[in-house]
Amino acid sequence: MGKINFSSFYGRRASRLAGLLLSVVMVFTYAACKGHSSALASTASGDPNSTASAPAAQNSYADVVTKVSPAVVTIRTDKRVHAPQQFPFSNDPFFRDFFGDRSQRGQQPQQPRESLERALGSGVVVSADGYILTNYHVVDGADNIKVDLNDNRTLEAKVVGTDKPSDLAVLKVNASGLTVLPLGDSDRVRVGDVALAIGNPLGVGQTVTMGIISAKGRTTGLSNGSFEDFIQTDAPINQGNSGGALISTNGELIGINSQILSRTGGNVGIGFAIPSNMAKGVMDQLLKTGKVRRGQLGIGVQGVNSDIAASLGLSDARGVIVNSVTQGSAAERAGLKRGDVITAIDGATITDTNSFRNHVASTAPGTQVSLTVMRDNREQQLRATLGEFVPETAKANDDDAGGGAPRPSETGKLGVGVQPVTPQLIAQLHLPAGVQGLVVEQVDPTSPAAEAGVGEGDVIEEVNRQPVRSVADLKAALQRTGTRPALLLINHGGDSIFLTVRPRQ
């Protein structure tokens, strides 16, 4: 029996291994929704033998579970899909000339057939009058949504609002006096805390599992990577748990279960939940306006490691470095420049790119924020009025760096072959319009550049904050670098990033 596949599979970049074929694929999957076609029999995957041991200090959580379990519901969705025609143009006389008249040969063209796909997930009651919080992917595209309550009632549900970037949705059922799961403060959750996961895995019925908080601030990139701040847990989560509750031992909601990492699609002890604080912010906006508005600075950032800090002459590796500034953005109006290092926002120290991005996104558009910036080893304060984030359409990926370009010049210290960017190369290699610098056409796989992540088709725009337009510029910049790591600004597929490379001596 077929299933709705809410999974996204992430394979590692293939390595060239002579005579050996061995690969290990780790799979991030939406933790599941279980789906199937009504015409086929369903199958379930997972490890039913996976268990977690209770800590010695407490051997039962029955009182907590009894209190909160009525607030966790099962969500069932139906989606009508049309099967494609096998010969969609068979009635067109023009195509009959090519394929013949199949009806005359006793082969009637296949007509479109409608089938029903069903999916299973979980949800959390957040108000006594019937509002329910769940995952976006649980209800995405659904024509019919039903909610199974803990008292055996089944109610029709309507979508109040959805937010794909955070993978959250709010539903409404016509009911009153429902048990509500109180929201906890996910910021106060600590790694090592005991957590309970409640949902309907694999359709077996409401199930409670136990584990600990394994990590915080995780990103997986499955939703879109922009607004992820997952709580990681080893409490067993399987298909059907999506949208269910991750609760503390105090009986408070600390997360909405969303994804798992697995080789098989079953639980291996690596699950991810959307923090309750993020879920509350999204839910409040969906209830008020039906949509979510997010602040935006209009910059690209990356973390500052020790090599980048050394290249910039910083005393320690902290904050995020600006690798691009969008023209006309809030950041440009505030005076931010590429190469600036932002160490704090609104007085809060920046520890990584994800927390910085989420801080900006969770701030309403039009809000003024203060930024602490290191520029040329001098600290300064900038103020920016946030713009509004508008989701971009997916960029077309084009990894073809085509041949026929002029013979690259060799630069021994980096181990790459480069050529100045020309209009012909921009068209031939599908480079971003207006890019300037040196296009990388050869990379020695054992070179410092390869080790740093420089690849064919990348464009070297700057070295140590200085533009390079010729091979001579590059060689001179590397000569001035000496024994320090060189800070390269690389344009990779249209995105500018900083990389540090230790040139050969």
pLDDT of the residue at 136: 93
> Which are the catalytic amino acids?
137, 167, 242
The string of pLDDT tens digits covering residues 207-260 is 999 999 999 988 886 655 467 889 999 999 888 889 999 999 999 999 999 988
Listed as ranges, residues in the chain with pLDDT below 50 are 1-25, 37-55, 85-90, 92, 94-100, 102-103, 105, 225, 393-410
Surface-to-core class of residue 296, CB atoms within 10 Å of its CB (0-12 exposed, 13-18 middle, 19+ buried)? buried
Contact 32, 239 (CB under 8 A): yes
CATH code for the structural domain at 1-8+24-42+61-98+113-292: 2.40.10.120
pLDDT of the residue at 82: 56
pLDDT of the residue at 401: 33
The string of pLDDT tens digits covering residues 55-75 is 455 789 999 999 999 999 999
Conformational region of residue 202, where left means phi above 0, alpha means psi within -120 to 50, and beta covers everything else: left
Is-same-fold flag (295-388; 409-501)? yes
**Helix/strand/coil (H/E/C) assignment for every residue in 35-102:** EEECCCCCCCCCCCCCCCCCCCCCCCCHHHHHHHHHHEEEEEEEEEEEECCCCCCCCCHHHHHHHCCH
The distance from CA 404 to its chain's CA centroid, rounded to whole angstroms, is 36
Determine the Cα–Cα distance for residues 456 and 440; give it in Å rounded to an integer.
Answer: 5
pTM of the complete model: 0.64
pLDDT of the residue at 234: 94
Conformational region of residue 347, where left means phi above 0, alpha means psi within -120 to 50, and beta covers everything else: left
Q: Which CATH architecture has domain 295-388?
A: Roll (2.30)
pLDDT of the residue at 28: 63
Q: Where are the domains of the chain?
A: 1-8+24-42+61-98+113-292, 295-388, 409-501
pLDDT of the residue at 405: 37
Contact 337, 326 (CB under 8 A): no
pLDDT of the residue at 367: 94
pLDDT of the residue at 126: 96
Q: Which fold has domain 409-501?
A: Pdz3 Domain (2.30.42)
What's the one-letter identity of residue 128?
Answer: A
pLDDT of the residue at 392: 53
Surface-to-core class of residue 423, CB atoms within 10 Å of its CB (0-12 exposed, 13-18 middle, 19+ buried)? exposed
Percent of the chain whose pLDDT exceeds 70 = 76
What count of other Cβ atoms lies within 10 Å of the Cβ of residue 63? Answer: 9
Contact 269, 211 (CB under 8 A): yes
The candidate with the shortest Cα–Cα distance to 54, out of 205, 206, 209, is 209
DSSP-assigned states of every residue in 231-257 = EEE-S---TT-TT-EEEETTS-EEEEE
Contact 381, 346 (CB under 8 A): no
Determine the Cα–Cα distance for residues 150 and 110; give it in Å rounded to an integer.
Answer: 44
Determine the Cα–Cα distance for residues 328 and 348; give it in Å rounded to an integer.
Answer: 26
